[in-house]
Structure 1
């Protein structure tokens, strides 16, 4: 059980490394846009820049939680990691569905003053096959991470339950063992220890010898 749990933990940590790389890439992209926009314009950055920055930070935080959870194999941390990853997947799925089903999806968002949203759209349309494969890989990594987190949580829970049962079993057995060892109790005679049964038999023999001696004196 332990080697299997260790293997799953290392796999989950590796998957979180990949997700952290994606988050850092989004952060670098958003900071690059912010730097270029700040040097060209005096206005504040567009919402798209801050949105990309927030997505990058969120992905990095979730990956960090997943890495720590896989390292310590804590059930509570694994549960929170699975919950946050599920929320991220649902948000991504809602965004993709809106873009696919709604042909006028750009009107649902405020105007991007930097123009990066339009350039990003043109890049995706020009490399649609690569983007599809990339999105599929990211989605598969996130789903596999959730599955591994749930498996590790169940394994940690079963291990904790089995440990508690063994402790209760040992606590029940201990008095019985003490009772079995009870006849070993001894009585000291001088500097020597004589078991209880031997002491009793010695006393009976002594009392019997005293009675026989008294009866012989009476006959005389």
Structure 2
């Protein structure tokens, strides 16, 4: 029963982890596309002697977040496959940190109407385009965000469950190993299992030398 429960938890954790991996891959592909377009625009603008001194921070940030999601996905897959407590602790801690950062960003955007002023200027203009695209498809992105948060929360619960299940199985394994070692000692040394029998009674006096029991008959 324990193996079936652990297998189900591993499969569910891998499925939730796969969602974050797909989001990370999509972000990497979109960042590479933005970098390609920005490079083409930069080459066209250089022919007209227009240069941008600012760095394309939005593209780098988008690419970095995508790579981070993919690395977290790899760590989660390793943790779910091996059920190693160290990897599970690291994975749950990182996902909790990501959730806190996402919550802080969402709260800042919702409560601060001038949050765009806190960001540096984007020379590529892709940040403005992405913002308009999100606003025009807000319902779709809202469900995507909820799906990501749900997947991360479920992955944390699955990781904690695997940690608890792994510790319980480790303790039961230790007890079984101790019992096996004790039984093995019994098989190797039978005297440990069956102590010698002692007969307690009146001592028997030896017969006199040369006396035969048949002489009395």
After TM superposition, the score normalised by the length of structure 2 is 0.82
Which of residues 95, 106, 131 is equivalent to 1:85?
A: 95
Counterpart in the other structure of 1:156: 166
Q: 1:49 aligns with which of 36, 49, 59?
A: 59
- The SS at the match of 1:2 is helix
| Alpha-carbon separation, structure 2, partners of 1:3 and 1:15 | 18
Say whether residues 1:109 and 2:119 are aligned partners. Answer: yes
Q: 2: CA distance between counterparts of 1:116 and 1:110?
A: 13
Structure 2 match to 1:181: 194
Match of 1:100 in 2: 110
SS at match of 1:215: coil
Higher relative CO (Cα under 8 Å, sequence separation at least 6) belongs to 2
Equivalence for 1:187: none
**Per-residue displacement from partner, 1:63-94 (whole Å, max 9, x unpaired)?**
11001111111111011000111111111111
Cα deviation per residue 1:135-157 (whole Å; 9 max; x = unaligned)? 11110000000000110111011
Mapped partners of 1:18, 1:133: distance in 2: 13
How many pairs align?
Answer: 198
Q: Could you tell me how far apart the structure 1 residues matched to 2:193 and 2:178 are?
A: 19
Q: Which has the higher helix share?
A: 1
Query: Who is 2:5 aligned against?
Result: 4
Structure 1's unaligned 5+ residue stretches are: 185-195, 198-204
Task: Quote the residue 2:24 is aligned against.
Answer: 23
Specify the alignment match of 2:47 in structure 1: none
Q: Indicate the larger mover: 38-47 or 156-165.
A: 38-47
Alignment partner of 1:138 is 2:148: yes
Is it true that 1:214 corresponds to 2:215 in the alignment? no
Per-residue deviation, residues 24-51 of structure 1 (Å, max 9, x unmatched): 0000011111111011115575101100
The aligned runs of 1:184-203 (5 Å cut-off) are: none
Shift of 1:103: 0.6
